Structure 1
Amino acid sequence: MAPPRLMMDVYEEHLSEAGFLWERWERGLASPAVDLTVTAAREERLLAHLDALTVGGSEVAGALLIPTLDSKAPTEVAAAAFALLASGEEGARKVLERLEAGKGPALAGIQRALELDDSLAPAALLPLLGSPRVDVQTLVLGALVFRRAVSPTVVEKFLSHGDPRLQSAALLGLEGRLDETHRKGLQAALDSPHTGVRHAALTAGLIAGLRGAWERCRKWAGESSAVGAQARVLLALGGGEQDITGLVKLLENAVLRPSTLWALGFSGHVSAAEACLAWMDKDRGTAALAAEAFSAITGLRLEAPYVAPARVAAEEPIPLEEEDLDADLVPTPEDALATPAPAAVAAWWKEARTRFDPGTRYLRGLPFSAQALLEALRQEPMRRRGVLALELAIRSRGQLRLEARAFTRRQASELARAFASLASLSPRRFDGLMTQG
C-alpha cells in the first residue's frame, strides 16, 4: 500500500533536496572557493536526505524512487539510485535493471551512484561486463575502477578492446606494478590513434613508472588536445627547469594559455611564478588563472589589496535583440576566481622574491616535500586536489590513492593511510621515478 499523500510529500521533499544538494556537492568538487571541510559539511546534509529516503521502504521505492530513475536530471537520478542501492537487495536489483535499459542522463546518474555507493558488492556488477551494450560495459568498468575494485584479470580482458571507451577505462584500472602483459598493453596504448586512450595511457604510464610515458609527456606538451593539456600538467608536476621553461614559452600561444597557466601553478618554480605575474597584466582574459597559479606557488593570499574590486552588474539590462540566447549561463569554476590587482601583486613580489630559491620547488610558499603534498591534499581548494592526488599516485607507484571525487569519508581514510606511509613517498623529479622500459 502506498504511503498517505501527506507522507509522500515529505519523501518528495527529501528527494528534491537530495537532488539539489547533490548537484551543489558535485559543483563544489571543482570549486576554487570550497575546501574539504566545507565539502564534508555539504555532504553530511546530502547524506541525511538520502538516508531519509530509505526509511519509506518498498512503497516509497515503487512510487517515487524507481520512476525517478527515468528523470532527465542526472543528480536526481543519482540520488534516487543511491537511496535504492542503500535500501537493500530489491532496490539494488531495480537499479541494475534500469541500468541495462537506460540511456542518457539515467546512465550518468546511475554510474555516479554506483561509484559512490559502498553497500553493493563489486561482484554484483561483474555480470554486467558481459552486456551487449558497450556503454553499459564502460559504465560498470568505470565504476569498478573508481572504487578500486577491479581485478587484474578484468583489466587484462579490456586492455586491448576495440572500443576506445572500454580500453581507456581498463587503462585507469591498472595498478602501479605491472606484469609483462599489462606493460605491453600500456605501451601499445601510448601509440593509439584515439585521444581518450592516449590520455588514460599517459596517466597510467607515469603511475607505473614507464619511461616511455614520460618521454611522450614531453613530446605531447605542445598539443592543443586534452592529451596535451594533461601532458602540461604532468610536466609541471615532475619536470625540471628546462621543462618549465618550455611551458612558459607556450604561454605565447593564446589557445594553450589557459591550460598552461593551470599547469604552471603546480610546478612550484620561481620562473613560473614570474611568468604568471607578467601575464596578469598582459591578458585580462586569463589574469585570474595567472593569479591562481601565482598564489599556488608563492602562497600569496588573493585578497585585498591584491585583488581588483568586484565588478558591479550593469544597471541597464541588455536589449533582447543583443542578448545571446544560446549562451551557457551555468557558472564555471573559473568564474569564482579572484581578479588580481597586478601592480599590488608585483609590489608584494618585489619584497618577497628574496625568500625564494630559483632551484627549489614551492607549494603555497613552502619548499615542496612529501609532507607538504599530503598537507595540501588536506587543505587545498577542491579544484586543485585531483591533480595533487594524481601526483600522490605517481610518487607512490600507485600504492597510495586518493579519489578526490569520492565522498569525504573515503577520502579521509585514504589520506590517513598516505600519512602513515609518508616515508615511502619520493620527492624526486619524475624522470628519476621512471624505472620501467
Structure 2
Amino acid sequence: MPPPRLMMDVYEEHLGEAAFLWSRWEQSLASPAVDLTIAEAIEERLLAHLDGLTLGGPEVAERLLIPMLEQGAPTEVSSAAFALLANGREGAKHVLERLEATEGPALTGIQRALELDDSLDPAALLPILGASRVDTQAAVLEALVFRRAVPPSALARFLSHDDPRLQSAALLGLDGRPEEPARKALLAALDSPEVRVRTAALVSGLVAGLRRAWEKCQKWAAEPSAAGAQARVLLALGGGERDLTRLVELLDVPDLRASTLWALGFSGQVAAADACLAWMGDDRRTAALAGEAFCAITGLQLEGPYAAPLEELAEEPLALEEEDLDADLVPRPEDALPLPAPGAVAAWWKQERGRLAPGSRLTRGRPFSVQSLFEALRQEPMRRREVLALELALRSRGQLRLEARALTRRQAASFDRALAAPASISSRRFDALMLQS
C-alpha cells in the first residue's frame, strides 16, 4: 500500500527544501561573505532534509526519488541521488544504473552526489570507468578523484587519454611523487595543446616537485588562459620578489587585471598591497577585487569609514554585444564584496605600513606560517579556501588534501590529519621545493 497522500506531501517538501538548500550551499562555497561556520549551518539544514527523505524507505524511493533522477533539475537530481545512496545497496543500484544512461545536467547532478556521499564504497564505481560513453567515464573519474579514491592502476590508462576532460582528471588524481610512467605522462602533459590538460599538469607537477612545472608556471603567467590564471595564483603563493614584480606589472593588462588582483591577495606582500591600493578608485569590479586582496594581506576590515557607498565609484560599462548580455546578468562572487573608500584606506595604510616588514609574507597582517595557513582554512571566506587548500597540498607534497567543496564533516577529518602532521609541511618558496627536472 502506498504511503498516505499527506506523507508523500511531506517527502515532496523534504525534496524541494533539499534542492533549494543544495543550491544555496553550493553558492556559499564561492561566496566572499560566507565563512565555514555559516556554510556548515546551511549544510546541516540540507542534510536534515536529505535524512528525512531516507525515512520513506523503498516506497518513497520508487515514487519520488527514482523518477527525479530523470526529471529533476540538477540540485533535485543531486538530492534524490544522495538520498538513494544513503538507503543502501538497492538505492545505490538505481543511481549507478541511471549514471550509465543519463547525460547533461542530470549526469552532473548525479556526479555531485557521488562526490559528497561517503556511504558508497568507491570500488563500486571502478567498473563504470569502462563505460562506453566518455561523459559517463569522466563523471565517475572526477568523482573518484574528488574523493581521492582512485587506485594508481586505474589512473594510468587515462593519463594520456585523447579526451582532455579524462586526462586532466587523471592528472589531478596523482598524489605526491608519481612512479616513472606517470611522471613521464605528467611531463608530456605540460606541453599539451589543451589548456585544461596543461592546467591540471601544472598543479600536479608542482605537487610532485617537478622543476619543469615551476618553469612553466613562470612562463605562463602572462597568458590570458585558465592555465595563465592558475599560474598567477601559484606565483603569488610561492614565488619570489621577481615573480611578485611581474604580477604587479600585469595589472596594467586589462584582460589580466581581475585575475591578477585575485592572485596578489594570496601573496601576502607589502608591495602587493601598495599595488592594490592604486586600483581602488577604478570601476566597481576592479575596486572590489583590489580591496579584497589588500585586506587579505593587511588585515584591514572594509567597514565604517573604510567602505565606500556604491555611487562613489564609476559604473562598469555595459557590453553591447548580444552574446555578452546574459553574462552581464549573472551575479559574480565578487559582486558581494564591499567597496573600499580609497582615501580612507590610503590614510590608514600610510599610518600602518611601517609596522609590516617588506619581503615577509603576511596573512591578514600577521606573518605567514604553517599554523596561520591552518587558521586561514578555518576562518577565511569560503571563496578563498579552495586556493588555500591547494597551498596545503603543495606544501605537503600531496600528503595532506583538504577538499574545500566537500561536506564539512569530511573536511574536519582532513583538518585532524593535517594538525597531526605539521612537520611534513614546508613554508619555503616553491622554487626551493622543486627537486626533480
> Which bracket does the TM-score occupy, shorter chain normalised?
over 0.9
Structural mapping, 1:10-21, within 5 Å? 10-21=10-21
Q: Which secondary structure does the structure 1 equivalent of 2:16 belong to? A: helix
How far has the Cα of 1:72 moved from its partner? Answer: 4.9
Give the structure 1 partner of residue 148 of structure 2. Answer: 148
User: Quick one: which amino acid aligns to residue 76 of structure 1?
Assistant: E
Rounded to whole Å, the distance in 2 between the matches of 1:417 and 1:351 is: 41
User: Quick one: which amino acid aligns to residue 418 of structure 1?
Assistant: A
Give the structure 2 partner of residue 257 of structure 1. Answer: 257
How far has the Cα of 1:5 moved from its partner? Answer: 1.0
Give the structure 1 partner of residue 429 of structure 2. Answer: 429
Give the structure 2 partner of residue 288 of structure 1. Answer: 288
Rounded to whole Å, the distance in 1 between the matches of 2:368 and 2:240 is: 14
User: Quick one: which amino acid aligns to residue 157 of structure 1?
Assistant: R
Structure 1 stretches lacking a partner, 5+ long = 313-323
Rounded to whole Å, the distance in 1 between the matches of 2:250 and 2:392 is: 26
- Asked if the contact 1:71–1:105 (Cα under 8 Å) also holds between the matched residues in 2, the reply is no
Give the structure 1 partner of residue 201 of structure 2. Answer: 201
Give the structure 2 partner of residue 345 of structure 1. Answer: 345
- Asked if the contact 1:72–1:105 (Cα under 8 Å) also holds between the matched residues in 2, the reply is no
* Deviation >4 Å, runs of 4+: 324-328
How far has the Cα of 1:328 moved from its partner? Answer: 5.4
Give the structure 1 partner of residue 401 of structure 2. Answer: 401
Give the structure 1 partner of residue 273 of structure 2. Answer: 273
User: Quick one: which amino acid aligns to residue 258 of structure 1?
Assistant: A
- Asked if the contact 1:15–1:80 (Cα under 8 Å) also holds between the matched residues in 2, the reply is yes
User: Quick one: which amino acid aligns to residue 137 of structure 1?
Assistant: Q
How far has the Cα of 1:436 moved from its partner? Answer: 1.4
Q: Describe the shift of the 1:73–1:365 C-alpha distance in structure 2 as closer, same or farther (beyond 3 A).
A: same
- Asked if the contact 1:178–1:208 (Cα under 8 Å) also holds between the matched residues in 2, the reply is yes
RMSD across aligned C-alpha pairs, in angstroms?
A: 1.3
Rounded to whole Å, the distance in 2 between the matches of 1:36 and 1:326 is: 31
Rounded to whole Å, the distance in 1 between the matches of 2:286 and 2:327 is: 20
Give the structure 2 partner of residue 122 of structure 1. Answer: 122
Give the structure 1 partner of residue 233 of structure 2. Answer: 233
Give the structure 1 partner of residue 410 of structure 2. Answer: 410
Rounded to whole Å, the distance in 2 between the matches of 1:285 and 1:119 is: 42
Give the structure 2 partner of residue 96 of structure 1. Answer: 96
Structure 2 stretches lacking a partner, 5+ long = 313-323
User: Quick one: which amino acid aligns to residue 333 of structure 1?
Assistant: P
Give the structure 1 partner of residue 373 of structure 2. Answer: 373
**Corresponding position: 1:112 with 2:112:** yes
How far has the Cα of 1:104 moved from its partner? Answer: 1.0
User: Quick one: which amino acid aligns to residue 73 of structure 1?
Assistant: A
Rounded to whole Å, the distance in 2 between the matches of 1:367 and 1:327 is: 39
Q: Describe the shift of the 1:297–1:25 C-alpha distance in structure 2 as closer, same or farther (beyond 3 A).
A: same
Q: Which secondary structure does the structure 1 equivalent of 2:136 belong to? A: helix
Give the structure 2 partner of residue 419 of structure 1. Answer: 419
How far has the Cα of 1:285 moved from its partner? Answer: 3.6
- Asked if the contact 1:21–1:46 (Cα under 8 Å) also holds between the matched residues in 2, the reply is yes
Structural mapping, 1:4-403, within 5 Å? 4-310=4-310, 326=326, 329-403=329-403
User: Quick one: which amino acid aligns to residue 216 of structure 1?
Assistant: K
- Asked if the contact 2:209–2:433 (Cα under 8 Å) also holds between the matched residues in 1, the reply is yes
How far has the Cα of 1:326 moved from its partner? Answer: 4.3
Q: Describe the shift of the 1:133–1:215 C-alpha distance in structure 2 as closer, same or farther (beyond 3 A).
A: same
Q: Which secondary structure does the structure 2 equivalent of 1:82 belong to? A: helix
How far has the Cα of 1:388 moved from its partner? Answer: 0.4
User: Quick one: which amino acid aligns to residue 26 of structure 1?
Assistant: E
Rounded to whole Å, the distance in 1 between the matches of 2:105 and 2:362 is: 42
Q: Which secondary structure does the structure 2 equivalent of 1:101 belong to? A: coil
How far has the Cα of 1:283 moved from its partner? Answer: 4.2
TM-score by length of 2: 0.96
Rounded to whole Å, the distance in 2 between the matches of 1:2 and 1:377 is: 47
Q: Describe the shift of the 1:368–1:308 C-alpha distance in structure 2 as closer, same or farther (beyond 3 A).
A: same
Q: For each residue in 1:394-413, what CA deviation from the matched residue of structure 2 results, as whole angstroms up to 9, or x when unmatched?
A: 00000011000000001011
Rounded to whole Å, the distance in 1 between the matches of 2:56 and 2:330 is: 34
How far has the Cα of 1:330 moved from its partner? Answer: 3.9
Q: Describe the shift of the 1:98–1:220 C-alpha distance in structure 2 as closer, same or farther (beyond 3 A).
A: same
How far has the Cα of 1:284 moved from its partner? Answer: 3.9
User: Quick one: which amino acid aligns to residue 199 of structure 1?
Assistant: T
How far has the Cα of 1:327 moved from its partner? Answer: 5.8
Q: Which secondary structure does the structure 1 equivalent of 2:304 belong to? A: coil
Give the structure 1 partner of residue 316 of structure 2. Answer: none
